[in-house]
């Protein structure tokens, strides 16, 4: 077994990854681990759900090392199972692309995370790389916003997280004079359940058909009255309302930046540019290099953004996070938009030295083991 040695104490370079099999994310992480001498094993999300979150029962009795959680989103059966755990009707018909009941999915997800934490409480030698409370917080946009506010990290203005009805919220947006607002599924990700609303029309990733809502990669502009059913759906399942930051431009198109924080430092920056102010790469955005982004920004804004990304990950308690940062088109001031628990994978991306993000993650895991070994020796002495 591969070990890391520090101050005479040896700890296993070993990790278990909770992921879906045969996904690019898992295959890449395993390949990088093999390359640098780590032992990593897969724990399937389907198995975690089968044992109702008792993840310790899926690990060897002598397990020692890190547990890493990876995305479950590409396997719809997992999303459906989580939603059913959260109270959704498991027998209801569900067509391809249909949005899984968002609030029930989140309840199921939080329940599984709680059960995993309780299970791992009996395994002192297995630790979560991203603490489970941090993962839960990053999945809730309103909780994330409250953490950012408490840490005094600049982020878009938002409406209060209360029980106000849809008409009240629309009136609040008008009263505040916001020219545009993002209405997002509070518990959504990857642009699922998203409307960018301006005065009388909006841009959305949602498609209504026969009274049901579907995700679509073909962004559509619709008048406000046609968007009302989607807004009601989001409001019923919990919605985050945020004032839209006017995005800085590259070649006339809006852009933002994903900054990947690993172990209290930014290890990767990926710009995202699109013809419309929804820049997700899978929705038609394209990557920008760090150089392409920086040519539009003062050095101070760039360095402030990197510091804010690290502070945002720290505020959420995350060792790894994908922090989305926008730059105001007129002032270049950075704003933290979101903090993503599974935002550390960009296929093909490597830094100037040829190192991928997963290399950086595994190195940080090893560094943490060395620190633990030194602390252990110090306690003995």
> Which pLDDT belongs to residue 380?
36
- 125 and 32 together in one domain: yes
* Residue 301: inside a domain: yes
pLDDT level of residue 168 (50, 70, 90 thresholds) = very high
Residue 378: pLDDT over 70:
no
Range with the poorest average pLDDT among 46-55, 72-81, 211-220: 72-81
User: For residue 8, is pLDDT > 70?
Assistant: no
What is the pLDDT, as a whole number, of residue 9? 38
Q: Quick one: pLDDT at residue 164?
A: 81
Confidence of residue 94 (pLDDT cuts 50, 70, 90): confident
The confidence score (pLDDT) of residue 67 equals 97
Same domain, 274 and 148: yes
Q: What tokens does 113 get?
A: 């995370």
What's the pLDDT tens digit per position in 328-371? Answer: 999 999 999 999 999 999 989 999 899 999 999 999 999 887 56
User: How many Cβ atoms from other residues are within 10 Å of residue 37's Cβ?
Assistant: 12
CATH value at residue 283: 3.30.470.20
Give domain status of residue 77, yes or no. Answer: yes
Least confident of 9-18, 175-184, 239-248: 9-18
Q: Say yes or no to pLDDT of 12 above 80.
A: no
Q: What is the pLDDT of residue 184?
A: 93
- Domain match, 34 and 120 both: yes
Query: Domain range for residue 181?
Result: 166-243
Say yes or no: 198 and 301 in one domain: no
> Is residue 350 in a domain?
no
Banded model confidence at residue 90, pLDDT cuts 50, 70, 90: confident
pLDDT value at residue 2: 54
Contact between 100 and 109 under an 8 Å Cβ cutoff? The reply is no
Residue 13 lies in a domain: yes
Residue percentage of the chain with pLDDT more than 90: 76
Q: Is the pLDDT of residue 4 over 90?
A: no
Q: Is the pLDDT of residue 255 over 60?
A: yes
Judgement on whether residues 250 and 330 belong to the same structural domain of the protein: yes
Q: How many domains does the chain have?
A: 3
Q: Are residues 176 and 27 in the same domain?
A: no
Mean pLDDT, residues 99-128 taken together: 93
Task: Using pLDDT thresholds of 50, 70 and 90, give the confidence band for residue 11.
Answer: low
Q: What pLDDT band is residue 375 in, cutting at 50, 70 and 90?
A: very low
Residues 118 and 229 in one domain: no
CA gap 43, 210 in Å, rounded: 38
The pLDDT value given to residue 381: 34
For residue range 119-160, list pLDDT tens digits in order: 999 898 999 999 999 999 999 999 999 999 999 999 999 998
165 has pLDDT over 60: yes
Mean pLDDT of the chain: 90
| pLDDT > 90? residue 116 | yes
Domain termination site, one of 187, 209, 243: 243
The pLDDT of residue 372: 53
Residue 9 covered by a domain = yes
Going by pLDDT thresholds of 50, 70 and 90, the confidence category of residue 306 is very high
Asked whether residue 238 carries a pLDDT value surpassing 80, the answer given is yes
Residues 301 and 274 grouped into a single domain: yes
Same domain membership, residue 199 and residue 264: no
Q: Do 112 and 180 belong to one domain? A: no
Q: Who contacts 289 (Cβ-Cβ below 8 Å, separation ≥6)?
A: 271
The pLDDT value given to residue 368: 84
Tell me how far apart the alpha carbons of residues 135 and 110 are, in angstroms, rounded to a whole number. 9
CB 320 within 8 A of CB 129: yes
Give percent of the chain above pLDDT 70: 94
Q: What would the mean pLDDT of 57-70 be, rounded to a whole number? A: 95
Residues 149 and 274 in one domain: yes
Confidence of residue 10 (pLDDT cuts 50, 70, 90): very low
Residue 67 forms part of a structural domain: yes
Residue 349 maps to a domain: no
pLDDT in tens, 276-291: 999 998 888 999 999 9
Q: Note whether 27 and 88 are same-domain residues.
A: yes
Residue 70 lies in a domain: yes
């Amino acid at each position: 077994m591969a070990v890391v040695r520090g101050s005479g104490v040896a700890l296993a370079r070993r990790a278990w990854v909770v992921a879906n099999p045969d996904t690019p994310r898992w295959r890449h992480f395993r390949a990088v681990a093999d390359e640098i001498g780590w032992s990593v094993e897969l724990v399937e999300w389907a198995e975690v759900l089968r044992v109702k979150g008792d993840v310790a029962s899926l690990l060897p009795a002598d397990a020692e090392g890190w547990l890493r959680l990876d995305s479950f989103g590409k396997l719809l059966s997992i999303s459906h199972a989580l939603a059913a755990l959260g109270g959704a009707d498991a027998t209801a018909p569900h067509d391809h692309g249909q949005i899984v009941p968002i609030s029930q999915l989140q309840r199921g997800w939080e329940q599984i995370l709680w059960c995993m934490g309780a299970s791992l409480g009996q395994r002192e030698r297995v630790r979560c790389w991203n603490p489970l409370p941090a993962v839960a917080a990053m999945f809730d946009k309103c909780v994330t916003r409250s953490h950012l506010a408490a840490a005094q990290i600049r982020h878009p203005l938002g409406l209060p997280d209360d029980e106000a009805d849809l008409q009240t919220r629309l009136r609040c947006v008008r009263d505040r004079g916001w020219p545009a607002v993002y209405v997002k599924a509070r518990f959504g990700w990857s642009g699922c359940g998203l409307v960018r609303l301006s005065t009388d029309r909006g841009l959305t990733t949602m498609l209504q058909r026969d009274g049901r809502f579907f995700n679509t990669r073909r962004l559509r502009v619709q008048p406000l009255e046609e968007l009302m059913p989607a807004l009601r759906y989001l409001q019923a399942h919990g919605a985050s309302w945020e004032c839209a930051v006017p995005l800085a431009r590259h070649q006339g198109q809006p852009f933002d930046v994903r900054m990947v924080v690993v172990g209290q430092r930014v290890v990767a920056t990926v710009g995202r540019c699109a013809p419309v102010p929804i820049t997700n790469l899978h929705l038609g955005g394209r990557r920008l290099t760090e150089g392409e982004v920086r040519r539009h920004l003062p050095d101070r804004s760039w360095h402030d953004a990197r510091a804010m990304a690290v502070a945002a990950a720290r505020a959420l308690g995350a060792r790894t996070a994908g922090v989305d940062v926008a730059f105001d088109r007129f002032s270049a001031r950075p704003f933290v938009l979101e903090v993503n628990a599974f935002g550390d994978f960009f296929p093909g991306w490597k830094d100037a030295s040829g190192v991928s993000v997963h290399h950086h993650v595994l190195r940080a895991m090893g560094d943490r083991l060395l620190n633990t070994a030194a602390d252990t020796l110090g306690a003995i002495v």
